[in-house]
Amino acid sequence: MLPRVRVLKPRPATAEELELVHHPGYLRTLAELAARGGGYLDAETVVGERSHEVAVLAAGGCLAAVDAAFSPEGPHGILCLVRPPGHHALPGRGMGFCLLNNVALAAAYAIVEHGAKRVLIVDWDLHHGNGTEAIFYGRRDVLYASVHQSPCYPGTGWLSDVGEGQGEGFTVNLPLPPGCGDAAYVEAFERLFLPVAREYGPDLVLISSGHDAHFADPLGSMQVTAQGYRRLTALLSEVARETANSRIIAVLEGGYNEAGLAWSLLAVLDALGDLHLELGDVPGAPSPGLGTPSEAFLRLEQALRLHSAYWKTLRTR
């Protein structure tokens, strides 16, 4: 695979770039905590002595990916293999393993530095990206769409959370019950996320590519397969080709089964680069269409009715 892809070199994000979404006081606190040898931001969010350095490099790597996506020569389909993850990080606080909000920084940077008018963020991590939602909740230049297990940490991302002020209608949440597999996710994309995305017409597509919804992951109860992630990536790549000059960037979030994460990321890369790889998965994958509670489709119907008030394309379906 490696000879068929181009490897981009990350760079550290600058303080000015980090302040596009994070408060200066929090950034100082994070740097000082690491300089003292580390500590805890909350019960599960650990900071080591090099955590600040690595988080800043991860964030900057995502900004370098945005630069590459907007360059004339591309590449336009990019996978950012970065840690720590980011989508739980709020403007003034890290949480849920996240220190800096990588995907939110990439979106804000694309708007400020590359003149993007509309950025789409699709978050398929098992957990709702409360930090990303909070950062853009009152804005319409970023459309945030999340499919996530509910109930689950962090207890946010309700159907009724649609944005506020100028951003009303530009947050689309689909909380799914435990047990959902590829079929529920694909139907959610084809009936809800993709029609809205096409009507929105993004200049850049970003994916919060967490893979803890994989069936082998210990933190979740979903049944998504590597092939499912390839299908979801392919669907979003179609949108990127239609509206964003093929600019699409997947940013790693969660994923805690090493084999499941490996196959899932390979599937995402395969779809982004149209590599036609021979893909496998962890043994014991569910059969296609299984593990899809009927409650999932009821929630999807509720979401379609709710968001038809904001998106014309949903009124004709």
Answer yes or no: are the C-beta atoms of 206 and 106 closer than 8 Å.
Answer: yes
Say whether 307 is catalytic: no
Among residues 155, 147, 269, the alpha carbon closest in space to that of 212 is found at: 147
Distance from C-alpha of 248 to C-alpha of 239, rounded to nearest angstrom: 9
- How is residue 169 written in tokens? 């209608």
Q: Which residue type, as a one-letter code, is found at position 83?
A: R
Compute φ and ψ for 255, nearest 5 degrees: 140, 115
Distance from C-alpha of 106 to C-alpha of 49, rounded to nearest angstrom: 25
Q: Which residue type, as a one-letter code, is found at position 165?
A: G
Who's near 296: CB < 8 A, 6+ residues apart? 176, 177, 180, 184, 188
Which candidate in 87, 88, 128, 211 is catalytic? 88
Distance from C-alpha of 117 to C-alpha of 247, rounded to nearest angstrom: 14
Q: How many CB atoms lie within 10 A of CB 252?
A: 26
- Residues with a catalytic annotation lie at 88
